[in-house]
């Protein structure tokens, strides 16, 4: 499935009117400071548990400098970028090697991300899909199945 088709599917699911066929990689760059980018949002969730652990693993500024809350420690990235981090999923799974890609900025869920990012969410999700794909190539080269978890 092409990137344009993935973007089209994502945008339809988010009810965004985006012509993914006409979006270039340059326009999708999260390094651009534009109207369509996601701003870094500080983590405001619980001080322990999975959400807090993710905050540490992605180096959200509100968790940097605080003690790590992850049972397995806060290191061990497959890929650490400016917008997201990809790391090995320690949860039980039937996958050969499951990875999680989490945005560095804090969102309660996908609807919250859509509200805070607007069209910048397309760039964020594109970058996250690319990071997850690249990380998995170290496990097994070729196609990758990726999921976006919805709240609930």
Over the stretch 61-119, which tens digit does the pLDDT of each residue have?
999 889 999 988 888 777 888 888 888 877 777 777 788 898 999 988 888 888 989 98
pLDDT greater than 70 at residue 7:
no
Cα separations (Å) of 148 from 5, 23, 120? 15, 21, 17
Over the stretch 39-62, which tens digit does the pLDDT of each residue have?
888 998 898 998 899 899 888 999
Phi then psi for 21, rounded to 5 degrees? -65, -25
Question: Can you give the pLDDT at residue 67?
Answer: 92
Question: Can you give the pLDDT at residue 151?
Answer: 67
DSSP 38: P
Cα separations (Å) of 47 from 1, 33, 72, 81? 39, 31, 16, 23
Secondary structure (3-state) at 113: helix
Question: Can you give the pLDDT at residue 21?
Answer: 30
- The residue assigned the tokens 């092409």 is 2
Least confident segment among 48-52, 131-135, 147-151: 147-151
């Amino acid at each position: 499935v092409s990137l344009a088709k993935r973007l089209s599917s994502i945008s339809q699911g988010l009810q965004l009117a985006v012509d993914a066929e006409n979006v270039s990689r340059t326009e999708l760059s999260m390094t651009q400071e534009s109207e369509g980018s996601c701003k870094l949002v500080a983590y405001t969730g619980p001080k322990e548990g999975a959400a807090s652990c993710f905050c540490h693993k992605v180096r959200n500024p509100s968790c940097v400098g605080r003690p790590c809350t992850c049972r397995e420690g806060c290191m061990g990235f497959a890929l650490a970028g400016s917008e997201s981090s990809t790391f090995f999923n320690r949860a039980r799974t039937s996958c050969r090697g499951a990875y999680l890609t989490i945005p560095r900025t804090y969102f309660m869920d996908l609807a919250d991300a859509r509200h805070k990012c607007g069209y910048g969410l397309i760039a964020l999700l594109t970058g996250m899909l690319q990071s997850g794909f690249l990380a998995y190539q170290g496990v097994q080269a070729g196609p990758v199945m990726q999921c976006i978890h919805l709240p609930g």
